[in-house]
Structure 1
Amino acid sequence: MAAAALLVVVVMLAAAGDGAAAALDAQAAYLARMKREFAGPAMARWDLSSSPAPAEYCRFPGISCDDADFNITGIDVTSWRLTGKLPLGLCSSLPSLREVRMAFNDVRGGFPAALLNNCSSQLEVLNISYAGVSGPIPADLLSAMAALRVLDASNNLFTGAFPAMALSNLTSLEVLNLNENPGFDHWRPPESMTKLRNLKVLILSTTSMRGGVPAWLGNMTALTDLELSGNFLTGPIPDTLASLVNLRLLELYYNELDGAIPDELGNLTALVDIDLSENMLTGGIPEPLCALPNLRVLQLYTNSLTGEIPAALGNSTKLEILSVYRNLLTGSLPADLGRYSPEFNVLEVSENSLTGPLPGFACAGGKLQYILVLSNLLTGPIPPEYGGCSPLLRFRLSNNHLSGSVPQGVFALPHVSIIDLSYNHFEGSIPPAIAGAKNLTSLFAAGNRLSGEIPPEIGDAWSLVKLDLSNNLIGGEIPGPAMAKLGRLNQLSLQGNRLTGEIPSELAELRSLNVLNLSENALSGKIPEALCELLPNSLDFAGNNLSGPVPAALIKEGLLESVAGNPGLCVAFRLNLSDPAMPLCDGNGGGRGGIRMAGRRSWIVVAVCAVVGVAAVMALARRWVRRRWAATGAGEEDGTSSSPASGWSAYEVTSFHKLSFDQHEIIEALIDKNIVGHGGSGTVYKIELSSGELVAVKKLWVSSSNKSGSKQNKYGAGAGEEEEDRELRTEVETLGSIRHKNIVKLYCCYSGADSKLLVYEYMPNGNLWDALHAGDNGDDGGLLFLDWPARHRVAMGVAQGLAYLHHDLTLPIVHRDIKTSNILLDAAFEPKVADFGIAKVLQAHSAIAGATTTTIAGTYGYLAPEYAYSSKATTKCDVYSFGVVLMELATGKKPIEPEFGETRDIVQWVAAKVAAAAEAEALDTRLAWSPYKEEMVQALRVAVRCTCSIPGLRPAMADVVQMLADAGPATGRNAKDPKPV
């Protein structure tokens, strides 16, 4: 019997050993299947070619095993850039599996079905964030996964019902993160979620949540992190949140909350960061909240808060960020603000009604980077300590009542990118120390009492892009050689000063210059002909003592207004009797003696008139013949369509520039052979004028109803067709008011009963889409012949054009359809933004982020996510679209490519590369030889910031220009982080 028993034991042990071996073999087999299912070079690190022993595959990257039995307990392939499906049998093959981390990959097939099999009782951690997962989250799957402690499925593309009830059953959950999944159906959180007693982190931002902030959240006392931002929450903030004694982070920004901030939030003694920005909150900032001992970040911007900023913030020892801009706050800033906070970093209180002095201790800790106090009622001098605040990046004080001399050290701050002193009462001069401001891109000091001269050392501040010293008391000469060193300068505004001497011809070397305003000074001498090479930039020399002939280019461009008020100037000819009164130049180029010369030239005038008269008669005869030809249908028998459009004599002309052609020359050229393209709104023609100049003409589609006899408006539409003509009116009104070198020039508009025509400057190199992607079908197109500096120049030009639209006009303009096909390229491949047919001119009271439109416009792949589901068109939508364009320039890829996956676009693809520090893998392979890889990587990082899913975190276009300048090929420096403006 004993022998028999021993035999049984031996057999059982043998069977157990065989079972354990089989289990280990199943683990290796599963890893092999996973390697086959997922495409990606990182999988080569799993060498499964020789049936490895458990001790071997437990050493594979991303694989964790227990020490005793070699059972796989974790799979972590985060940022491996894999594409594929998770094979079935995950937990049955890996029975000891506790953690699966697959973030920043491309997981196909929806929420992984492999988790349905035997994972319900063992899996504790699941992270599939940034994985492009689409479709619904199966509620039955979630309900069964009772062991889950961490579920992170953030930043995906889920749709359908939010699985709130299923989540309520996961009572072991400690971390729940479904952030940035706006495709869920609108939902309200059920009170059953209070069953999650162990939950510490609850992140449900941008998940289409509606209703009020649930009062029962106060019962979830284990919470340390509560984030519900970017939803549609309404009503007040419940005071029950004060029961969350462990709470460290509270984010409710970008909602529609109203009412007062509860004083009871001052009971949250563990609170470190609170952000209630972009709501409709009223009342004051609670003193108890500001007295919290651990508070580091207080962000309440863009609300309707009133009262004073509590003095308790001045006693804080932890405060790092104070951001309360765009409220209705009054009173003084706390005098000790920053005095006891060694990490104080951001002071942002702009657009309030604050009074009193600037806080003298703001930079006491030596970490302050942002002083943003513009548009208040502040008084007194700039504290001298600010001149030694070397970490400062942005220093903006404009539109206050500050006075005294600006500390010299302020102009020499080594890292500052913006100094904005405009519209105060500052005195003194700009010191030579400005040579030390190597990172300064914008110096604004308009509307003060600055005096002295412009120091030649300003040329050493070589990063300058914008310089505005207008309306001061600055005298002396303009230091031409110094200014010529500022190769990036885009704006030079010196009007309204006391400048003397001549206009330096060296200014013509500033090829990036867009605005040059020297008006209302005491400048003398001639206008340098070389400056005309900067046209069509904005030039203004009015109100000086200039003399001599006006350069012909200024006359031809219709810019005599820009030189008015200079009695010594004269013109060699006039294009229009409506031009400002200015004498004809005499034979020596002066403005006197023109009448004496008239008699001697009179016979020439008679002869010229005779020749012109004969030519006019011949032209009229020729046009009469052509019209008769068209009216009788001649030319139709051979199948051609050479007749001009009918009804040309009824056109009403609205011109925006001096024209070198008439409407007849345009109309007669609208024939099939001149068609170069068709768009959603009409046909585009390329027309060569008799002068040899080329123009582009957009002929808008018109409905048959437009040909009726109804009463016409000034755009040629019937009274019932105003909606149909909105696109034309918008484009005409927008482009007609714009003068910028990076925005396509609209010469004129012809409006008639049968057709509506827009005449533009012609761009010989087509659009950026064709330039980038023409070679995708195997031809030799694309930007193969343009290096990264050329592409960077394209990006800079577009960014400068958009910054002009957003920041430099009285009413900001939102383009709403920025894409590479709407970016045209001139002969030198300089970009020009085009197609404003769906642009939106924001009214002054709607120029903030809440401005809305009634219809969705734009192009798939370029649309900002919030515009797609909320119809809110803001400048930040343009920023997002520009980010996509920048990604195209750096990667050479289209916004939608098969390699991104069925549900992903270039934004998600690039974001994953950047997050994985693998940006180089995303760069255009056609530029593999480029020595500018680091600069291209920096551009990609700027693009990622531009395409942030939260609009408020995207930089303004003015900041984008500066980031691109910082990341340009000339320097290779890192782009700056997108901080407050």
Structure 2
Amino acid sequence: MATTHYSLLLFTISLLFLQSLCIQTNQSTFISLIKQSLSGPFMSSWALPCSGDTCFCTFPGIGCDDNGIVFKLDLSSRSLAGEFPPGICSYLPKLRVLRLDHNDIRSGFPVDVLNCSFLEVLNMSCSGLTGTLPDFSPLQSLRSLDLSNNFFSGDFPLSITNLTNIEAINFNQNPGFRFWKLPEDITRLTKLKLLILSTSSMRGDIPPWVGNMTSLTDLELSGNLLTGSIPATLGKLHNLQFLEIYYNRLTGVIPEELGNLTKLIDIDLSGNELSGQIPEKLCELPELEVLQAYSNKLTGGIPQVLCNSTTLTILSIYRNSLSGQVPPELGKYSGLVVLELSENQFSGELPAETCAGGQLLYFLALGNFFSGSLPESLGYCRSLIRFRVNDNQLRGSVPESIFSLPHVSIIDLSFNLLQGSIPKSIAGAKNLSGLFLQNNQISGSLPIQISWASGLVKIDLSNNMLSGPIPAEISSLSKLNQLSLQGNMLDSPIPPSLSSLKSLNVLNLSNNLLTGEIPESLCDLLPNSLDFSNNRLSGPVPIPLLKEGLIESVSGNPSLCVPIHLNLTDHLLPLCPQPSLRKRLNNIWVIGLSIMLSMFGILLLAKRWIHKRNQEEEQDGISSSSSFSYDVTSFHKLSFDQHEIVEALIDKNIVGHGGSGTVYKIELSNGERVAVKKLWSRKVKDGSSDHLSFDRELRSEVETLGSIRHKNIVKLYCCFSSLDSNLLVYEYMPNGNLWDALHNEWSFLDWPARHRIALGIAQGLAYLHHDLLFPIVHRDIKTSNILLDASFEPKVADFGIAKVLQARDHDHDSTTTVIAGTYGYLAPEYAYTFKATTKCDVYSFGVVLMELITGKKPNEPEFGENRDIIRWVSSKIASREGETEVLDKRLSWSPFKDEMIQVLRIALRCTCSSPGLRPSMNEVVQLLIEADPFKSDSINSPSSKFKAKNPT
């Protein structure tokens, strides 16, 4: 009997040995398969073949037990690409941990994982996975499932409700699922602590039974289509630390019962339609660090008890209807980092203790009814980055120390009743990019020390009481793109040195007491917005200003004159004094000769027209009786007439066809070239008769382009309209469009050129979004709508579907309900809102940035099915090597890779799926300036401890 038992024991040991040996052999085979299937520099660390049956256990990312059995495979953030090999659990039957996150797995979900009966941790987030998901029920040992930031489609896997041992579920940022509702079966997951289902196409309400999931420590349902009210039963989740339900459509009040969540650290209810007051009990929570409820309909005031908090770091409640006085000691006992009170109805004085902890980065209180003076204490808040208190009723002098804060990026005190002067200490504001003091009572002179704040991009000091000269030293502000000094009492000549501000888009010096002549050199800034009206300027108006049709911009200067006779200006400005008699006689000869040459030219033109009239009729369908019957609307001084344009509309001058018409390149008799877009009008019924009218897109383009001037927006010279057709005459762009420059084999742009193009586009869009009375949303930003002039300066074109937003505040995301745009560039929110905002332009610009960085088109076969450039890039950026991998291979030699990666990160911010997380175009301009490939030094700023979703 003992012999039998002994034999059986030996047999069992032998069997286990053989089984272990077989497993080890299989494991080695699978390790080899992984190395063959996935590519990336990391794979070189797996030196195969290696000596010994379990030598692979020493490889990075592989974990083995004492018997050499693999229980962990962790390849997260290794910049790997390829298809994961099948059969994983046949080769690694004891696998408990599988992490493939932050790689580029070019296939769907690896269904063989379902056979891993011991699997406890599965993380495949940010892996570029597509397709549908399987039934997860077989994975009964699973404790953590993370499939966030992928591109799954089809039905949401409700089978997760069968995973009774699960503790963490994360499906964040998977917007491709079909609409679904949270099933009550999920309450069976009694061990569940973390439930993240943000941006996963969930709809319906938040069911009251969620309050029964008392093990939850983190509940995130943001960015969905949830409706109804917040159930009071959430107050039963006594272990909850994080509650994020922002960007939904929730209504009703904030339940008082949320004040029972004594372990709560972070609550975000923003971007809903919540009403009522902020519960006092919620503000008493002992561990609360973050309270965000912006963009709702909340009323009442800030509970006084919030001042007692020793943990609060972020309070973001802007864009509500809150009122009353802000408790003066708010932030006194906690290290407050962000205070956002903007766009409410607060009154009284600004809180003075907010920077007591010395950590405040954002103080934003614009658009309220605050009165009194600016707290002196804020001038000593050296951590401050953004300070905006504009559109209030503040009085008194501005503390000098505010102007010299070392890290501050934006100071906006505009539209108040503030007094005092701009101190010389502004020289210390080395990180200042925007100074906005317009519509106050600021007096004194403009100190030359302002030119030492070398980061300045925008200066608006308009409608104050400034006097004295305009410092010539301002010309050293190389990044400046806006200088608005109108409505003051400045009384010097205009410094010619301003012409060296090559980035300047807006120069407004109107309504001052400026004297002397308009410097000819300022014409170098054309075609940007220039305004010198209503001053005491004298002498001749530079001819380029007249050619640009800027006569209104020099009006109100009685001593100005025009050097040449122009009918357009006769009623506004006189001719300049005539020269001496001898010079006049010489001029007579010149004029006579000019008349003779003109007559000769007219005869030739008439002969040419008669000769080509029939050909013109055949080619263009325009009859002789209507060839020249165009109504002309001009926006600049023209050097041609309709006859010359119409005659040149022949086949040999066609350079392109589009959905809206035909484009011609025309060389004028004066040697200049223009581009003409010819559109046929559409018939519309008018009573009993038919008539032809402006196409809506044409009218939009004319109204939009005719009213704006910017060096990065294509110039519309004029519009010719007739009963048969409409012609738009533009400046000609000899280097075509950016699409061809990037994607044609015959062209190549180095990185400095691409960066310059990106910055120019951004400046043009920032002008449209922020520098006009009413913002303009382009709605079709793409590389084919970016034209390049002779020096490859970019110009935004094709405003056929642009929309002017009748919004009070340029920073608002006003909307329009017309669907527009181009596939590959459309912001994802179109899928469920059908609304275009300025943030839609930001998204499209982010796609353009990715084209510039990668050299790839928005949609390429190599990206895989249902994937675009954004998803492709996102799957490769987990590590620095991954970021480098997406850079255009034609730029592999470039010494500017760090700067390219900087711009890549800007592109990723611009293309965030949530609009509120995207920067404004003003911010994008600043970020691109900081990524200048030839920048010699970096701007140091304090590191942020938070990521604001939508800072004002």
Q: Given that residues 705 and 716 in structure 2 are in contact (C-alpha distance below 8 angstroms), is that contact kept between their aligned partners in structure 1? A: yes
Q: Given that residues 879 and 946 in structure 1 are in contact (C-alpha distance below 8 angstroms), is that contact kept between their aligned partners in structure 2? A: yes
Cα–Cα, structure 1 residues 604 and 820, in superposed 2: closer, same or farther, change >3 Å? closer
Which digits, 9 at most, give the CA deviation of each residue in 1:780-837, with x for residues without a partner? x221xx3x33322211111111111111222222112211121111111111111112
Does structure 1 residue 167 correspond to structure 2 residue 160? Answer: yes
**Match of residue 379 from structure 2:** 387
Q: Give the superposition deviation at 1:299.
A: 0.9
Please list, as runs of the form range in 1=range in 2, the aligned pairs for 1:280-295 lying within 5 A after superposition: 280-295=273-288
Cα–Cα, structure 1 residues 129 and 362, in superposed 2: closer, same or farther, change >3 Å? same
CA distance in 2, matches of 1:501, 1:226: 63
SS at match of 1:539: strand
Q: Given that residues 76 and 99 in structure 2 are in contact (C-alpha distance below 8 angstroms), is that contact kept between their aligned partners in structure 1? A: yes
1:735 aligned residue (705, 727, 752): 705
Q: Give the superposition deviation at 1:642.
A: 9.2
1:956 aligned residue (902, 920, 923): 920
CA distance in 2, matches of 1:218, 1:705: 59
Which amino acid is the alignment partner of residue 25 of structure 1?
A: T
Q: Given that residues 586 and 597 in structure 1 are in contact (C-alpha distance below 8 angstroms), is that contact kept between their aligned partners in structure 2? A: no
Does structure 1 residue 751 correspond to structure 2 residue 721? Answer: yes
Q: Given that residues 676 and 728 in structure 2 are in contact (C-alpha distance below 8 angstroms), is that contact kept between their aligned partners in structure 1? A: yes
Q: TM-score, normalised by structure 1?
A: 0.92
2:439 aligned residue (438, 444, 447): 447
Q: Given that residues 628 and 646 in structure 2 are in contact (C-alpha distance below 8 angstroms), is that contact kept between their aligned partners in structure 1? A: no
Does structure 1 residue 61 correspond to structure 2 residue 53? Answer: no
Does structure 1 residue 144 correspond to structure 2 residue 138? Answer: yes
**Match of residue 101 from structure 2:** 103
**Match of residue 73 from structure 1:** 71
Does structure 1 residue 472 correspond to structure 2 residue 470? Answer: no
1:931 aligned residue (895, 905, 921): 895
Cα–Cα, structure 1 residues 582 and 313, in superposed 2: closer, same or farther, change >3 Å? same
SS at match of 2:767: helix
Identity score, percent: 58
RCO comparison, higher one (Cα < 8 Å, 6+): 2
2:609 aligned residue (606, 611, 623): 623
SS at match of 1:810: coil
Q: Given that residues 644 and 668 in structure 1 are in contact (C-alpha distance below 8 angstroms), is that contact kept between their aligned partners in structure 2? A: no
Q: Given that residues 122 and 147 in structure 1 are in contact (C-alpha distance below 8 angstroms), is that contact kept between their aligned partners in structure 2? A: yes
282-291 or 102-111: bigger deviation? 102-111
**Match of residue 366 from structure 1:** 358
**Match of residue 504 from structure 1:** 495
CA distance in 2, matches of 1:886, 1:367: 34
CA distance in 1, matches of 2:597, 2:880: 72
Does structure 1 residue 782 correspond to structure 2 residue 748? Answer: yes
Please list, as runs of the form range in 1=range in 2, the aligned pairs for 1:223-622 lying within 5 A after superposition: 223-342=216-335, 344-480=336-472, 482-577=473-568, 580-587=571-578, 612=598, 615-616=601-602, 618-622=604-608
1:153 aligned residue (140, 144, 147): 147
Q: Give the superposition deviation at 1:619.
A: 2.9
Q: Given that residues 578 and 584 in structure 2 are in contact (C-alpha distance below 8 angstroms), is that contact kept between their aligned partners in structure 1? A: no
Which digits, 9 at most, give the CA deviation of each residue in 1:926-975, with x for residues without a partner? 33343332222211111111111111111111111111122223245379
Does structure 1 residue 669 correspond to structure 2 residue 648? Answer: yes
Q: Given that residues 195 and 219 in structure 2 are in contact (C-alpha distance below 8 angstroms), is that contact kept between their aligned partners in structure 1? A: yes
**Match of residue 807 from structure 2:** 844
2-11 or 305-314: bigger deviation? 2-11
45-54 or 423-432: bigger deviation? 45-54
Which digits, 9 at most, give the CA deviation of each residue in 1:345-383, with x for residues without a partner? 111111111101111111110000111111111011111
Cα–Cα, structure 1 residues 820 and 971, in superposed 2: closer, same or farther, change >3 Å? farther
Which digits, 9 at most, give the CA deviation of each residue in 1:757-780, with x for residues without a partner? 2211111111112222222xxx4x
**Match of residue 911 from structure 2:** 947
Q: Given that residues 79 and 912 in structure 1 are in contact (C-alpha distance below 8 angstroms), is that contact kept between their aligned partners in structure 2? A: no
Which digits, 9 at most, give the CA deviation of each residue in 1:584-621, with x for residues without a partner? 11135xxxx99x99999889878866764564455334
**Match of residue 83 from structure 2:** 85
**Match of residue 718 from structure 1:** none
Does structure 1 residue 826 correspond to structure 2 residue 796? Answer: no
1:122 aligned residue (118, 124, 133): 118
Cα–Cα, structure 1 residues 292 and 895, in superposed 2: closer, same or farther, change >3 Å? same
Cα–Cα, structure 1 residues 707 and 290, in superposed 2: closer, same or farther, change >3 Å? closer
1:212 aligned residue (205, 208, 220): 205
Which amino acid is the alignment partner of residue 699 of structure 2?
A: R
CA distance in 1, matches of 2:343, 2:11: 84
CA distance in 2, matches of 1:405, 1:57: 72
Q: Give the superposition deviation at 1:85.
A: 2.7
**Match of residue 876 from structure 1:** 839
Does structure 1 residue 904 correspond to structure 2 residue 903? Answer: no
CA distance in 2, matches of 1:200, 1:151: 12
Which amino acid is the alignment partner of residue 695 of structure 1?
A: V
Q: Given that residues 644 and 667 in structure 1 are in contact (C-alpha distance below 8 angstroms), is that contact kept between their aligned partners in structure 2? A: no
Which digits, 9 at most, give the CA deviation of each residue in 1:215-255, with x for residues without a partner? 11101111111111111111111111111111111111111
CA distance in 2, matches of 1:903, 1:81: 21
CA distance in 2, matches of 1:48, 1:895: 38
SS at match of 1:926: helix
Q: Given that residues 85 and 107 in structure 1 are in contact (C-alpha distance below 8 angstroms), is that contact kept between their aligned partners in structure 2? A: yes
CA distance in 2, matches of 1:52, 1:731: 73
Which digits, 9 at most, give the CA deviation of each residue in 1:187-234, with x for residues without a partner? 111111111111111111111111111111101111111111111111
Q: Given that residues 368 and 391 in structure 2 are in contact (C-alpha distance below 8 angstroms), is that contact kept between their aligned partners in structure 1? A: yes
Q: Given that residues 79 and 878 in structure 2 are in contact (C-alpha distance below 8 angstroms), is that contact kept between their aligned partners in structure 1? A: no
CA distance in 2, matches of 1:837, 1:698: 12
**Match of residue 36 from structure 2:** 36
Q: Give the superposition deviation at 1:50.
A: 4.0
CA distance in 2, matches of 1:889, 1:814: 22
Q: TM-score, normalised by structure 2?
A: 0.94
Number of aligned residue pairs: 942
SS at match of 2:297: coil
CA distance in 2, matches of 1:810, 1:379: 26
Please list, as runs of the form range in 1=range in 2, the aligned pairs for 1:761-772 lying within 5 A after superposition: 761-772=731-742
Which digits, 9 at most, give the CA deviation of each residue in 1:305-339, with x for residues without a partner? 11111112211111111111111111111111110
Q: Give the superposition deviation at 1:578.
A: 5.6
Q: Given that residues 103 and 875 in structure 2 are in contact (C-alpha distance below 8 angstroms), is that contact kept between their aligned partners in structure 1? A: yes
Does structure 1 residue 184 correspond to structure 2 residue 177? Answer: yes
CA distance in 1, matches of 2:105, 2:832: 24
Please list, as runs of the form range in 1=range in 2, the aligned pairs for 1:700-739 lying within 5 A after superposition: 700=679, 711-712=690-691, 714-715=693-694, 725-739=695-709
CA distance in 1, matches of 2:571, 2:344: 43
**Structure 1: runs of 5 or more not aligned:** 634-640, 716-724
**Structure 2: runs of 5 or more not aligned:** none
SS at match of 1:401: coil
CA distance in 1, matches of 2:596, 2:332: 84
Which digits, 9 at most, give the CA deviation of each residue in 1:662-697, with x for residues without a partner? 222112212222122222322221111111111111
Cα–Cα, structure 1 residues 15 and 200, in superposed 2: closer, same or farther, change >3 Å? closer
Cα–Cα, structure 1 residues 123 and 497, in superposed 2: closer, same or farther, change >3 Å? same
CA distance in 2, matches of 1:929, 1:625: 57
